[in-house]
Structure 1
């Protein structure tokens, strides 16, 4: 870190918004103030009060061993090495793992959401990983990278993104839920259980902040429009939206004072590519404890596995199975899966992840999911085992069959 020798205040280190987290050991720091780039001096106490931390979770499917199973160890290591090397001076901390064949990059920094440098770092890490995937002949190499070059933000380019900028609490804790073989609407029901259903979450009764109700920010993925639905007045309209997870998805959840609790990726790959290129495999960040849901209240919203869209060829309804960290996708018709990464954070530094779905009791939930999957597969290709035509129409094979069928109707 270079010193600014022109200072008149004991030669403090110059900190920009990008690297000011290194100021923790100084009594006086100089930061760039606002967008005009002018410097001002802050005491360490003032500095800490002014600093917001951003958690960014970005994921992509860039190749799997023998099909849509899991990335190779070399592929994961390549992405990790790239982020560590090129994130210096940008990131405070990071973690790289996978769920099924999707690699997720969890990053902490002070650059805010939708930051070009952060998104470019993730895009280039996935691009570098794709080279290894192609070299190894992995299936679906670079599958989720739907554009040829980075344009400033990975949203709308294939990777899934969830981000929250926050004023860090003394004990900041959050979960990252990373899914594979399903769509963003898979989180609709668990989020309803967390924030609406007192049967699932007693905290909605006994926690004063949660009892006040939250704001669900719902996206219509066909139009891209957003609606803010406030509990408890908008409960019927919220549930009307959540009942169709292929169209309306949870974008974020905020307290009634508009402090963000949840961020969820919402991109539908077929809306970007115009055809089926794989399921969207959403990722979400959920802050927990104190005035937010307890960590166990958030996690238990994924027990008693519900039915979601996805599965093999993205064309079926199957249960949403909670799995351990870094689990491969199943060959049992590729049951949709979700893992839970638990983090503690202080000054942007991460401790964890702890495997939220790794304890023995979750084995029972996995067995339930397997049993429900077997029941659905008995139905074969007949709806409701398969998706509705509106969802299947993005699959070119289905489109061709229907075109041929329609020719035969007279």
Structure 2
């Protein structure tokens, strides 16, 4: 029987602004999932990245299961009650609907799910990002699954030389899912054309062309598409299977040394470098910088082993120093030019109202 890995993430309250949830809030969410999910889930892990709480569940219900999604939703509702009682900031922030409607997709929480035939050894990585959007994963996934300069397995591992299929979503198309499938390496340039714009085109999933098995699932929801206004950054999660038919763990982790510029930071409106941090890290500088954690697991018969903190190695201390320096440099530019997001991304913020007011005050000079 197939195994399903489901990770559902939401921000339902944090201490001191957008820093981190309280221990009581996290404990409440985990307790609810474990107690109410006894008959639904095989195993559970609950952790947080910045102010976002991620619930990882293993089960046999398949993707999009109403019971699994309801379990997570109710856990976040219970956590929201704690957040309100403690006076935490942004209590229930990511719960954008009043009641559960069968699936949390389109309701605020981010969701990534994989339904797999469990291998004898099944290693996988759970990435969780805060203060950024789903496009933050585009470049690392391109490098890990399509670029032999990063991933020698594309040359050395016989089953990986057949390449991978990328499913890319146009997240600006809000009425239905609009996707395209592109094969690497044949469609590499086409893929690059799309991923040049990570605010619009987001890798949703990646599949092995040798086996047909899914390797990657990314949460692609954008909160402003749901709420119609800025309500916080999307803070995506991602599941990545590793080894054998897929890139090695180190090949998946390597691109995160770049500290590449992503949308996010203060009020979700800036360009900032993505910093790989240890599990449970809060955010700090300028509501950021945008951060990403990686929890490494193995799973056997649905039982989780781990996590190992993949970014806790001393190597990543040097990366964090470089990312901090890059964050300071771009912040020196303030609101000017490339330091802020383009107007298409700012249309959900108050700056559009201000521009509307100023527009009325412009005048065309008469020719002399």
Give runs of aligned pairs for residues 131-146 of structure 1, distance below 5 A: 131-146=81-96
Q: Which moved more, 1:203-212 or 1:286-295?
A: 203-212
1:316 aligns with 2:270: yes
2:154 is matched with which residue?
204
Say if 2:12 and 2:76, in contact at 8 Å, map to a contact too: yes
Counterpart of 1:106? 56
* 1:289 alignment partner, SS class: coil
Find the counterpart in structure 1 of residue 338 from structure 2. 384
DSSP 3-state at the match of 1:384: helix
Q: Which residue of 2 aligns with 1:174?
A: 124
Structure 1 gap segments, 5+ residues each: 1-50
Give the equivalent residue in structure 2 for 1:375.
329
For residues 352 and 212 of structure 1, the distance between their equivalents in structure 2, rounded to whole angstroms, comes to 31
- Report Cα offsets for 1:268-314 as digits up to 9, x if no partner: 00000000000000000000011101011111121121000010100
Cα separation, 1, equivalents of 2:249 and 2:7: 18
RCO greater where, 1 or 2, for CA within 8 Å and sep 6 or more? Answer: 2
Alignment of 1:352 onto 2:306? yes
The residue number in structure 2 matching 1:398 is 351
Identify the residue that residue 192 of structure 2 maps to in structure 1: 239
2:13 corresponds to: 63
The answer to whether the 8 Å contact 1:195/1:210 transfers is no
Q: Is the 8 A contact 1:304 1:368 kept in 2?
A: no
5 Å-filtered alignment, 1:9-408, equals: 51-223=1-173, 224-256=177-209, 257-395=211-349, 397-408=350-361
Query: Which whole-Å CA distance do the structure 2 matches of 1:303 and 1:202 have between them?
Result: 17
Does structure 1 retain, via aligned residues, the 8 Å contact 2:265–2:286? no
Which residue of structure 1 aligns with residue 366 of structure 2?
Answer: none
Shift of 1:333: 4.2
Q: Work out whether residues 219 and 248 of structure 1, in 8 Å CA contact, stay in contact via their aligned partners in 2.
A: yes
Q: Cα offset for 1:331?
A: 3.2
Judge conservation of contact 2:277–2:291 (CA < 8 Å) in 1.
yes
**Cα shift at 1:196:** 1.3
Distance of aligned partners of 1:258 and 1:373 in 2 relative to their CA distance in 1, 3 Å threshold: same
TM-score w.r.t. the length of structure 1 is 0.87
1:174 aligned counterpart, secondary structure: strand
Q: Determine helix, strand or coil for the equivalent of 2:258.
A: coil
Counterpart CA distance in 2 for 1:383 and 1:341 is 35
The 4+ residue runs of structure 1 with deviation greater than 2 A are: none
**Which 5+ residue runs of structure 2 have no aligned equivalent?**
364-368
- Please report the RMSD computed on the Cα atoms of aligned residues, expressed in angstroms: 0.8
1:28 maps to which residue? none
| Equivalent-residue separation in structure 1 for 2:149 and 2:357 (angstroms) | 49
C-alpha separation in 1, matches of 2:213 and 2:337: 41
Q: Deviations over 1:112-155 (max 9, x none)?
A: 00000000000000000000001111111100000000000101
Does the Cα contact within 8 Å between 1:210 and 1:292 map onto a contact in 2? yes
